[in-house]
């Protein structure tokens, strides 16, 4: 199998996909704009060949790279990055080279939040009321329907970039004065706990692995208010969440892919679909999968790709929690004190790439324990401010 991995060095932990695939004998062909000798040694060892382009946004350069790979190695069987940023680029390359996977005619449904909402509704999953609005008058009419606050976010965007919570008419008018020249979707503000339904499907769209994470707060609040964050995995997934997640998997025909679906859980227990992401959840969450189940999701991805199954059954043995700290905050306890007091449940800790800093913090800890009480104790200790 010839597998082209776009940007295999980023995010930092995704090199493990290449390492696992290579162990299964897959021909891994790397394509990025980073210098070869800046790649970590494990990644270089996994790549059969690496093609450096000057600009990953220059589609002609990518076309030439894939043309070269095709000439030298034969038909490209798969191309991916596991990164939301490159979803549309991947779809275009798959279309042009007839490579299996998401093509251009499918990409809008998984990139545009307004189209996602239509599919959620058809799947029988509840959603926040919302629509794409072009001007202030349309927005004022929408407010009459749903009331303040409302949320405005790019209809086609990544993460919480350029997302706003608007609480009154003055803020709404100000938004339209500074609004970027792109489509924005406006939604009623729903107060609830954010949670996810994450996993990996086989070639027929059946979930081979799934789990769920509960978030302290939304990324929008974390970024806009410069807050720190934690989120943790569940060992038992609520049946209503599983039902909603499976409905969405079927509606979007998610095949041979990771998925990360986001929901609001209301106080009355109902789940409202927020958005879909056809890639693994961000940050260190794929590693959290491994710590939670004592298995190797990178290896299992390779096994799915080649054999359409997992190599072993998984059990969610632990709750696993990511806790991020920001260097601009005055914390009560030092890094050394954290390791001294909670080192026994810290599975991993590291500096976080600055690109993710506003959302995930500058330094992250991964906690692992069978019950949540000890984890919450550690979160309080790590996040305590002077």
Q: So what's the pLDDT on residue 163?
A: 87
Alpha-carbon distance 55 to 321, whole Å?
36
- With 90 as the cut, is the pLDDT of residue 161 above it? no
Give the separation between CA 284 and CA 196, rounded to whole angstroms.
15
pLDDT at 159 over 60: no
91-123: pLDDT as tens digits: 999 999 999 999 999 999 999 999 999 999 999
DSSP 8-state class, residue 112: B
**Tokens at residue 326, please?**
């920001």
Predicted TM-score (pTM) of the model is 0.94
Residues 77, 385: Cα–Cα separation, whole Å: 51
Q: How many helices (H) and strands (E) does the chain have?
A: 15, 17
The CA distance from 382 to 364, in Å, is: 10
CATH class of 193-383: alpha beta
Q: Which of 7-21, 213-227, 360-374 has the weakest average pLDDT?
A: 213-227
What is the Cα–Cα distance from 287 to 313, expressed in whole angstroms? 17
Please work out, in degrees rounded to the nearest 5, the angle formed at the alpha carbon of residue 355 by the alpha carbons of 352 and 360. 50
pLDDT (mean) for 155-173: 85
Q: What residue segments make up the domains of the chain, in order of their start? A: 2-106, 129-188, 193-383
CATH topology of domain 2-106: Rossmann fold (3.40.50)
What are 55-76's pLDDT values in tens digits? 999 999 999 999 999 999 999 9
Average pLDDT rounded to a whole number, residues 78-89:
96
The CA distance from 58 to 4, in Å, is 17
Q: Which CATH architecture has domain 129-188?
A: 2-Layer Sandwich (3.30)
End-to-end CA distance of the chain: 55
Cα distance between residue 165 and residue 220, in whole Å: 8
Lowest mean pLDDT among 105-109, 132-136, 158-162, 255-259: 158-162
What pLDDT sits at residue 134? 94
Q: Average per-residue pLDDT in the chain?
A: 96
Pairing of β 27-32 and β 130-133: unpaired
Tokens, residue 119? 């599919």
pLDDT for residue 160: 57
What phi and psi values does residue 285 have, to the nearest 5 degrees? Answer: -65, -35
What number is the average pLDDT over the span 377-383?
A: 98
> For residue 176, what are its two tokens?
């339209």
Contact 349, 363 (CB under 8 A): yes
SS3 1: coil
Question: 22-45 pLDDT, tens per residue?
Answer: 999 999 999 999 999 999 999 999
């Amino acid at each position: 199998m010839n597998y082209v991995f776009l940007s295999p060095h980023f995010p930092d932990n995704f090199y493990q996909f290449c390492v696992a695939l290579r162990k299964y004998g897959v021909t891994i062909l790397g394509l990025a704009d980073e210098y070869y000798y800046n790649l970590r040694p494990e990644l270089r060892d996994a790549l059969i060949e690496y093609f450096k382009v000057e600009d990953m946004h220059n589609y002609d350069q990518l076309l030439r790279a894939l043309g070269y790979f095709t000439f030298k190695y034969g038909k490209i069987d798969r191309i991916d990055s596991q990164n939301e940023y490159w979803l549309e680029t991947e779809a275009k390359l798959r279309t042009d080279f007839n490579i299996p996977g998401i093509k251009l005619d499918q990409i809008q449904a998984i990139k545009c939040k307004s189209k996602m909402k239509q599919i959620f509704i058809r799947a029988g999953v509840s959603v926040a009321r919302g629509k794409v609005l072009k001007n202030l008058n349309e927005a004022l009419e929408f407010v009459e329907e749903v009331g303040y606050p409302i949320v405005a976010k790019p209809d086609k965007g990544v993460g919480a970039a350029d997302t706003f919570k608007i609480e009154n008419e003055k803020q709404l008018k100000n938004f339209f004065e500074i609004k970027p020249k792109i489509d924005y979707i406006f939604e009623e503000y729903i107060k609830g706990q954010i949670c996810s339904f994450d996993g990996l499907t086989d070639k027929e769209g059946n979930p081979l692995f799934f789990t769920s994470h509960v978030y302290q707060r939304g990324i929008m609040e974390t970024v806009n208010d410069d807050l720190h964050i934690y989120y943790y995995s569940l060992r038992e997934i609520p049946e209503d969440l599983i039902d909603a997640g499976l409905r969405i998997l079927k509606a979007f025909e998610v095949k041979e892919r990771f998925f990360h679906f986001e929901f609001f859980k209301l106080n009355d227990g109902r789940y409202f679909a927020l958005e879909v992401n056809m890639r693994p959840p961000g940050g260190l969450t794929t590693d959290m999968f491994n710590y939670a189940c004592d298995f190797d999701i990178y290896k299992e991805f390779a096994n799915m790709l080649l054999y359409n199954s997992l190599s072993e059954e998984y059990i969610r043995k632990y709750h696993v929690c990511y806790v991020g700290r920001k260097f601009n905050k005055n914390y009560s306890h030092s890094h050394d004190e954290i390791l001294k007091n909670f080192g026994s449940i810290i599975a991993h800790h590291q500096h976080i790439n600055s690109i993710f800093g506003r959302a995930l913090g500058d330094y992250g800890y991964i906690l692992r324990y069978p019950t949540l009480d000890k984890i919450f104790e550690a979160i309080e200790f790590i996040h305590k401010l002077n």
